[in-house]
Amino acid sequence: MIAQGQKLPAVTLNQLTKDGMVTHQVSELFAGKKVVLFAVPGAFTPTCSEAHLPGYVVLADEFKAKGVDLIACVAVNDAFVMKAWGEAQNASELMMLADGDASFTKALGLEMDTAGFGGIRSQRYSMIIEDGVVTLLNVEAPNAFEASKAEVVLAAL
């Protein structure tokens, strides 16, 4: 599993924008920026939609006031689902990133097999990234939602 002090893997993530599909090189996307990245097991799922994503939406201005350049949410879903979920959650201040084939999640070592629920998904986590290097990593215990909350990450900044 990736650890604090390590550089993010050289993989891609996708984003559906008003101009179409954009494939981001992770190394370029996060270069020279302070980023708060959090991952969820799936878009439109209960904890993710009722608590995890909304916390970051509500606190987006406070993150930016603490010098965060980008707040990004990633899930092992396709870019169409991530865009629709972001719109449904009023997440216009967040970048909704799709890891459709779980390559980013697997490269981080943060995948989990949910079997019949949805196959390979991401564990729930949050991280602070500075110029592509992980400076804080909070991985949730199975079935927990504490360490990756927006309030916890904001307090760490």
- Quick check: 38 and 6 in contact, CB under 8 A? no
Q: Return d(Cα 3, Cα 12) in angstroms, integer.
A: 19
Q: Return d(Cα 38, Cα 104) in angstroms, integer.
A: 13
Q: Return d(Cα 22, Cα 134) in angstroms, integer.
A: 24
What's the gap between Cα 48 and its chain centre?
Answer: 11
Whether 48 sits among the annotated catalytic residues: the reply is: yes
- Quick check: 91 and 71 in contact, CB under 8 A? no
Q: In the numeric block, which tokens belong to residue 85?
A: 């979920």
Of the candidates 13, 40, 48, 108, the residue annotated as catalytic is 48
Positions annotated as catalytic residues are 48
